[in-house]
């Protein structure tokens, strides 16, 4: 059975612009990490001894099936399409996931898996949903899912994650490392709102959205580039032991990254 790649991402920058109800509005540059990905495939339940009436995910996950973003993507797709073919597919097949992207790491692994699952179903079942329709379904699963639906190498992401605009630049190669620190994104955002809340203005946001990633990594440090770096460091003191000079922070953590291009990394 065909395998589908679910790529990781890093946030070149992530700045808060304000709040919308319980969400924080952001401007961010997402870039795909081209050598770090999970692989998803459909496998016949006959081969894995799974019951027809259970939604089965095979892979190294610490959460329950109901908490898994792939299952949430299935529910969102089922509710949006009322597809009998989708229900039949999931009665006869399990989703196999070969995990390489660490969980709770700020690399978008769960969102990427959900997006990839939606695209797999769309292709295999000939649902004929557009990328925009898939992104709207994916947004119900998580704010980062639309970026992975579109499959851009680099994109500006704003709002709460629903506005995704491709950014035309050469993709960079990254050296990523993820300390064994399990980060709660809500906890980091709460620390940001309570102790670090300082949204940037529209002019500065537009400046950043127009600046190539290479230039941002040459001219900013980890704290300047990511508004969640300081609150994550405050909330998870052990992160300080893992921080390396010249590295940047992805999402709410715990992953750090730098570019393999030393000219950029030493900026």
> Active-site residues: which are they?
9, 144
Of the chain, the end-to-end C-alpha distance in Å amounts to 45
Q: Could you give the CA distance from residue 186 to residue 1 in angstroms, rounded to a whole number?
A: 37
Q: Which of 156, 148, 144, 150 is nearest to 38 (CA)?
A: 148
210-213, Cβ contacts within 8 angstroms, sequence gap of 24 or more: 212/169, 213/12, 213/29, 213/31, 213/154, 213/167, 213/169, 213/172
Inter-CA distances, 129 with 93, 134, 146, 173, Å:
21, 6, 14, 32
């Amino acid at each position: 059975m065909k395998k589908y790649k679910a790529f990781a991402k890093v946030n070149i920058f992530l700045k808060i612009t304000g709040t919308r109800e319980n969400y924080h509005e952001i401007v961010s540059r997402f870039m795909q990490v081209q050598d770090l990905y999970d692989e998803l495939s459909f496998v016949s339940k006959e081969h894995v001894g799974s019951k027809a009436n259970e939604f089965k995910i095979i892979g190294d996950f610490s959460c329950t099936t109901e908490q898994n973003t792939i299952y949430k993507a299935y529910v969102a797709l089922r509710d949006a399409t009322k597809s009998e073919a989708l229900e039949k597919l999931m009665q006869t097949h399990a989703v196999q996931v070969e995990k390489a992207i660490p969980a709770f790491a700020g690399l978008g692994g769960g969102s990427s898996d959900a997006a990839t699952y939606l695209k797999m179903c769309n292709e295999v079942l000939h649902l004929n949903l557009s990328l925009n329709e898939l992104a709207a379904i994916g947004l119900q699963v998580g704010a980062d899912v639309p970026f992975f639906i579109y499959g851009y190498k680099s994109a500006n992401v704003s709002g709460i994650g629903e506005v995704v605009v491709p950014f035309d630049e050469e993709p960079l190669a990254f050296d990523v490392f993820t300390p064994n620190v399990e980060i709660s994104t809500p906890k980091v955002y709460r620390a940001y709102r309570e102790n670090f809340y300082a949204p940037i203005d529209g002019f500065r946001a537009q400046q950043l959205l127009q600046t190539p990633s290479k230039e941002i990594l040459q001219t900013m440090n980890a704290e300047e580039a990511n508004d969640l770096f300081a609150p994550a460091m405050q909330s998870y003191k052990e992160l300080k032991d893992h921080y390396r000079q010249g590295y940047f922070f992805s999402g709410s953590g715990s992953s750090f990254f730098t570019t393999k291009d030393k000219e950029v990394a030493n900026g």
